[in-house]
Amino acid sequence: SQTIHQWPATLVQPVGSPLSLECTVEGTSNPNLYWYRQAAGRGLQLLFYSVGIGQISSEVPQNLSASRPQDRQFILSSKKLLLSDSGFYLCAWSPGQGYTFGSGTRLTVV
């Protein structure tokens, strides 16, 4: 079966610290992968998407970066977190016209 794993579930990080969020999918190959962010009380904003290994497209300028070192692995990173990076981060994958979301990471930058 096809599943998506995202961790950690919650994270509290100080301003200026690095960040690494990981997302992996199972049971599929060559999916489109996505990182979304949801600020408190807001909708979901697409941050990055990837159509293949090493192929990353950024939707909005920001303090974050993404990488796809393997077909089913998608990583969201930052070298130095800002307060404005706080939010709920969701990874998603799409093999076609359906979308499955991970359980999310709630990031609080203090």
Question: Which residues of the chain form contacts with other proteins (CB under 8 A)?
Answer: 32, 34, 36, 42-46, 49, 51, 57, 59, 88, 90, 92, 94, 97-104, 106
Least distance in angstroms from the C-beta of 110 to other proteins: 20
CA dihedral over 53, 29, 72, 103, signed as positive or negative: positive
Burial class (CB in 10 A: 0-12, 13-18, 19+), 78: buried
Least distance in angstroms from the C-beta of 34 to other proteins: 6
Q: Which is nearer to other proteins, 68 or 102 (CB)?
A: 102
Q: Which is nearer to other proteins, 36 or 74 (CB)?
A: 36
Q: Which is nearer to other proteins, 7 or 101 (CB)?
A: 101
Torsion angle defined by CA atoms of residues 32, 5, 92 and 109, in that order, rounded to the nearest 10 degrees: -130
Element at 12 (helix H, strand E):
strand 10-13
Dist CA 96 CA 77 (whole Å): 26
Q: Which is nearer to other proteins, 103 or 108 (CB)?
A: 103
Least distance in angstroms from the C-beta of 38 to other proteins: 8
